[in-house]
């Protein structure tokens, strides 16, 4: 499917230079002289190389068609992560590079994910937008910081560090955004 060059968003997979690339970061730039363009950091899905490209609104790029199938996370063994297709019960193993090192920390036993594949080859995993985790350590509140919106460092049960509001203490269950590891809210359970 053809799309305009300035509509690329982080996470999109495009066909560029006879290869599949995932957009990692995008930045709209409007220089004083010349037309506006979109600066895109691309990561090759197959070998992990990175590339910076500029796309103008008049250019078109081919968005790759990805099949998404519902899978359940089963277990990790070394750097291989095994998932089960919930319809056919087939198992698929992916490497840590295919999932992403920052995303692996948020995998939980039995978690439902979507595995993206292109022409039958698995390319990556799409986690749920948020996960609920327990805070294991939280720094003490510094007196006087509560007047403005301030955050303090905390350690989660999966070993990820994040910034949380001052009222969050150890043992509190919180909701975390899986894309950037940021605090969303206190869990309602």
| Model pLDDT, residue 123 | 81
H-only helix segments in the chain? 96-99, 101-104
Burial of 174 (0-12, 13-18, 19+ CB in 10 A): buried
| Model pLDDT, residue 148 | 61
Tokens of 149: 């919106």
| Model pLDDT, residue 146 | 55
> Mean pLDDT for the chain?
87
Q: Which residues, 6 or more positions from 42, have their beta carbon under 8 angstroms from its beta carbon?
A: 14, 16, 21, 22, 23, 24, 50, 51, 52, 53
| Model pLDDT, residue 179 | 82
Q: Which of 117, 104, 111 is nearest to 77 (CA)?
A: 104
| Model pLDDT, residue 118 | 85
For residues 12 and 7, what is the distance between their CA atoms, to the nearest angstrom?
10
| Model pLDDT, residue 143 | 67
Question: pLDDT below 50 — which residues of the chain?
Answer: none
Tokens of 58: 């008049």
- Domains of the chain (ranges; CATH) run 2-63 (2.30.30.30), 67-126 (2.40.50.140), 130-186 (2.40.50.140)
Long-range pairs for 33-39: beta carbons < 8 A, 24 or more residues apart: 36/6, 37/5, 37/6, 38/5, 38/6, 38/8
Q: Which of 62, 53, 43, 60 is nearest to 5 (CA)?
A: 60
| Model pLDDT, residue 46 | 78
């Amino acid at each position: 499917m053809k799309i305009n060059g300035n509509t690329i968003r982080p996470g999109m997979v495009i066909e560029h230079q006879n290869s599949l690339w995932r957009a990692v970061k995008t930045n709209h730039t409007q220089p004083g002289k010349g037309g506006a363009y979109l600066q895109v950091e691309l990561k090759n899905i197959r070998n992990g190389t990175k590339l910076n490209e500029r796309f103008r609104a008049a250019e078109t790029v081919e968005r790759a068609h990805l099949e998404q199938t519902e899978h359940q996370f089963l277990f990790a063994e070394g750097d291989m992560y095994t998932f089960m297709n919930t319809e056919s019960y087939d198992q698929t193993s992916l490497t840590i590079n295919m999932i992403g090192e920052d995303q692996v920390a948020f995998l939980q036993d039995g978690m439902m994910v979507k595995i993206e594949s292109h022409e039958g080859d698995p390319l990556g995993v799409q986690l749920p937008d948020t996960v609920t985790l327990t805070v294991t350590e939280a720094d003490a509140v510094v007196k006087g910081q509560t007047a403005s919106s301030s955050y303090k460092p905390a350690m989660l049960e999966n070993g990820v560090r994040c910034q949380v509001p001052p009222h969050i203490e150890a043992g509190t269950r919180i909701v975390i955004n899986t894309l950037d590891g940021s605090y969303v809210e206190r869990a309602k359970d």
